[in-house]
């Protein structure tokens, strides 16, 4: 794992930022909750369902403040930072509830402030004031987290590590156009903008091919190459690693020299501001993981997800916050790893999904726990799109899930129209994660049942009108447990 490296100047600025945050907390207690995950993990759906269930008092029996009746109100309020886009909660809920379509994936950072009013569980605390806390939910792409280790790498190291990954397994054929073109170039020759743009484009196309559903690879820095936003076409985003690059320094004005300069600009313009203004200010963090997608794509996708999660978790600054340490350096004191799409499995396999995901983050979990932060792994479904049933098959009774496949989804020779429900056997997960990972690391293949898992995408469920505030409740699996772990102690 590669931790984030920051300079003394960076640390001084972080301390000043944190002191300002803590001063505002004296007026209104605030908890900043980071929500991230790699592509397809369901960040947008998680936030929309979490907020909706709190606003509409959904079924959250494991969330103690609601179960005990101490949560008196939940409401959305203006976010404090006018420079950050607001999470489009209302639009996402309309798509989920009225249109029954999944909202778009996270493409950039956004925030949402949810204020909770509650009665303290302590009679002593109730004598002094009614409890109130603002939850600032910070939604950001997991790919941006994978950029943070770049702060500790120079351009030569970045090029060397990227090339090494590109010459292995599934990545090698996907990287051929970039590698072949790069090998024709002289790193010390004068830089030419058209050559640079072609080099960048072939590299970016390689990253996009790795990310595509049929491969589902996860370790793909620089993250902004996959979602450039308003920086598209800027010099800070127009560079690429150079294979076989010798150690610097490189000639001024050379291809290698310019690539190294733009790489440093990327860290200065893109990575450092994200770290300082957003990531380093978080109190709690949930990382959503599509373990099922990786399992269905094969050993390399599983290995790549394991590497990506290790890199992601190494970026966190975990630890227990005392009143004094919290003033100068904010630490993330609770981290939740959530394996999503639990509704694609029968409940009998949920514990297996949790164990497999825990195995993926085993080393990082020990490191975070040793530093005093709370750490948990659970399987959940932010929106439950299926229900469970059983079917008879000969003399056996099979557990199945029932849902409405998305228009165009296929099972065998059957194509679905988006309106008809079907029952499918979701497959079995390995019962012994240690044996499963040993098998993979020895070069073993996945069984066909694993390859079939997560093969069907379902529409969101029918749950009534979004305007029906009295009866509407978005169904979920363990969202209440996630809430209790992430914020329950702050409502005690």
pLDDT at 341: 94
Q: Work out the mean pLDDT of the chain and round it to a whole number.
A: 86
Domain identity same for 295 and 344 = yes
Indicate whether 423 belongs to any domain: yes
Domain identity same for 172 and 217 = yes
Mean pLDDT for the stretch of residues 52-72: 94
Domain identity same for 483 and 350 = yes
Mean pLDDT for the stretch of residues 367-372: 72
What does the block give as tokens for 285?
A: 């963090």
pLDDT at 466: 47
- pLDDT band per the 50, 70, 90 thresholds, residue 319: low
Q: Which of 192, 356, 193, 202 is nearest to 289 (CA)?
A: 356
Pick the range with the lowest mean pLDDT from 22-36, 219-233, 256-270, 343-357.
22-36
Helical segments of 401-478, H only: 433-441, 448-452
Place of tokens 């109100």: 73
Which of 230, 265, 300 delimits the end of a domain?
265
Spatial distance between the Cα atoms of 468 and 465, rounded to a whole number of angstroms: 5
Domain identity same for 258 and 289 = no
Pick the range with the lowest mean pLDDT from 111-115, 286-290, 317-321, 372-376.
317-321
Spatial distance between the Cα atoms of 390 and 347, rounded to a whole number of angstroms: 12
CATH of the domain at 320: 3.40.50.300
Domain identity same for 231 and 154 = yes
pLDDT at 1: 44
Domain identity same for 41 and 103 = yes
- pLDDT band per the 50, 70, 90 thresholds, residue 106: confident
Q: Which of 125, 132, 124 is nearest to 29 (CA)?
A: 132
Question: Is the pLDDT at 318 greater than 90, yes or no?
Answer: no
Question: Is the pLDDT at 303 greater than 70, yes or no?
Answer: yes
Indicate whether 18 belongs to any domain: yes
Question: Is the pLDDT at 101 greater than 70, yes or no?
Answer: yes
Which of 239, 265, 291 delimits the end of a domain?
265
pLDDT at 6: 53
Across 92-96, 140-144, 216-220, 278-282, which has the greatest mean pLDDT?
92-96
Question: Is the pLDDT at 420 greater than 80, yes or no?
Answer: yes
Element (H, E) at 430: none
Indicate whether 213 belongs to any domain: yes
Number of domains in the chain: 3
Question: Is the pLDDT at 320 greater than 80, yes or no?
Answer: no
Q: Which of 211, 190, 393, 169 is nearest to 300 (CA)?
A: 169
Spatial distance between the Cα atoms of 368 and 329, rounded to a whole number of angstroms: 16
Alpha-carbon separation of residue 224 from 41, 234, 240, 284, 346 (angstroms): 18, 11, 12, 24, 37
CB-based contact 318:184 (threshold 8 Å): no
Spatial distance between the Cα atoms of 418 and 408, rounded to a whole number of angstroms: 7
Mean pLDDT for the stretch of residues 42-69: 95
What does the block give as tokens for 354?
A: 């949790």
pLDDT at 337: 94
Domain identity same for 282 and 174 = no
Indicate whether 466 belongs to any domain: no
Domain identity same for 423 and 482 = no
- pLDDT band per the 50, 70, 90 thresholds, residue 17: low
Indicate whether 464 belongs to any domain: no
pLDDT at 263: 97
Indicate whether 459 belongs to any domain: no
- pLDDT band per the 50, 70, 90 thresholds, residue 469: very low
Question: Is the pLDDT at 324 greater than 70, yes or no?
Answer: no
Spatial distance between the Cα atoms of 458 and 411, rounded to a whole number of angstroms: 12
The β-bridge relationship of strands 131-139 and 387-393 is unpaired
DSSP β-bridge partners for residue 334: 284, 374
- pLDDT band per the 50, 70, 90 thresholds, residue 27: low
The boundaries of the domain holding residue 225 are 150-265
pLDDT at 13: 56
The β-bridge relationship of strands 374-379 and 334-339 is parallel
- pLDDT band per the 50, 70, 90 thresholds, residue 69: very high
At 115-146, the pLDDT tens digits run 999 998 776 555 555 689 999 999 998 888 88
Burial pattern 245-260, b for ≥16 Cβ within 10 A else e, equals beeeebeeebbbbbbb
Domain identity same for 136 and 30 = yes
Burial pattern 2-19, b for ≥16 Cβ within 10 A else e, equals eebebeeebeebbeeebe
Spatial distance between the Cα atoms of 281 and 31, rounded to a whole number of angstroms: 10
DSSP 147-197: TGGGGG--HHHHHHHHHHHHTSTTHHHHTHHHHHHHHTS-TTSBP-HHHHH
DSSP letter assigned to residue 103? P
Q: Rounded to 5 degrees, what are φ and ψ at 51?
A: -65, -45
Indicate whether 462 belongs to any domain: no
Alpha-carbon separation of residue 251 from 68, 254, 258, 365 (angstroms): 68, 5, 9, 44
At 472-485, the pLDDT tens digits run 789 999 999 999 99
Domain identity same for 131 and 157 = no
Domain identity same for 134 and 229 = no
CB-based contact 483:63 (threshold 8 Å): yes
Greatest Cα-to-Cα distance within the chain, rounded to the nearest angstrom: 76
pLDDT at 236: 94
Helical segments of 288-400, H only: 291-297, 299-315, 325-328, 350-360, 362-370
Pick the range with the lowest mean pLDDT from 146-150, 271-275, 312-316.
312-316
Model-level pTM? 0.87
Indicate whether 463 belongs to any domain: no
pLDDT at 326: 46
pLDDT at 4: 54
Cβ neighbors of 21 (< 8 A, separation 6 or more) are 30, 281, 330
pLDDT at 386: 95
Domain identity same for 316 and 223 = no
């Amino acid at each position: 794992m590669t931790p984030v490296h920051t300079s003394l100047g960076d640390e001084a600025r972080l301390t000043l930022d944190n002191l300002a945050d803590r001063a505002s907390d004296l007026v209104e207690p605030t908890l900043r909750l980071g929500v991230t995950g790699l592509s397809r993990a369901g960040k947008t759906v998680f936030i929309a369902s979490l907020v909706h269930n709190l606003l509409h008092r959904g079924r959250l029996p494991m969330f103690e403040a609601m179960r005990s009746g101490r949560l008196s109100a939940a409401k959305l309020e203006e976010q404090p930072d006018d420079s950050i886009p607001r999470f489009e909660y209302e639009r996402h809920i309309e798509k989920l509830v009225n249109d029954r379509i999944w909202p778009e994936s996270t493409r950039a950072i956004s925030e949402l402030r949810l204020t909770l009013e509650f009665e303290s569980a302590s009679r002593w605390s109730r004598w002094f004031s009614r409890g109130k806390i603002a939850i600032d939910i910070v939604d950001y792409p997991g790919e941006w987290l994978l950029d943070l280790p770049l702060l500790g790498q120079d351009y030569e190291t970045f090029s060397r590590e990227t090339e090494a990954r590109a010459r292995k397994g599934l990545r090698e054929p996907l990287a051929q156009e970039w590698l072949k073109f790069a090998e024709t170039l002289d790193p010390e020759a004068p830089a030419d903008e058209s050559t640079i743009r072609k080099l960048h484009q072939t590299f970016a196309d390689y990253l996009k091919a790795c990310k595509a559903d049929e491969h589902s690879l996860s370790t793909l820095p620089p993250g902004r190459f996959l979602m450039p936003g308003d920086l598209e076409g800027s010099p800070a985003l127009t560079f690429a690693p150079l294979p076989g690059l010798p150690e610097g320094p490189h000639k001024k004005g050379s291809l290698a020299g310019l690539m190294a300069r733009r790489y440093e600009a990327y860290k200065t313009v893109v990575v450092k501001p994200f770290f300082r203004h957003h990531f380093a200010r978080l109190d709690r963090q949930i990382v959503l993981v599509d373990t099922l997608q990786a399992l269905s794509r094969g050993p390399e996708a599983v290995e790549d997800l394991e590497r990506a999660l290790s890199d992601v978790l190494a970026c966190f600054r975990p630890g227990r916050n005392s009143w004094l340490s919290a003033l100068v350096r904010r630490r993330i004191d609770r981290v939740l790893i959530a394996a999503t799409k639990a509704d694609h499995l029968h409940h009998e396999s949920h514990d297996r999904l949790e164990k497999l995901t825990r195995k993926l983050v085993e080393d990082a979990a020990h490191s975070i726990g040793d530093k005093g932060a709370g750490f948990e792994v659970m399987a959940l479904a932010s929106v439950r799109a299926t229900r469970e049933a059983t079917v008879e098959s000969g003399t056996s009774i099979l557990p199945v899930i029932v849902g409405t496949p998305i228009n165009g989804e296929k099972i065998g020779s059957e194509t679905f129209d988006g309106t008809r429900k079907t029952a499918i056997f979701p497959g079995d997960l390995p019962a012994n994660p240690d044996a499963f990972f040993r098998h993979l690391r020895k070069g073993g293949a996945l069984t066909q049942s694993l390859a079939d898992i997560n093969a069907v995408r379902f529409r969101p469920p029918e749950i009534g009108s979004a305007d029906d505030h009295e009866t509407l409740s978005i169904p979920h699996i363990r969202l209440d447990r996630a809430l209790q772990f992430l914020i329950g102690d702050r409502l005690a």
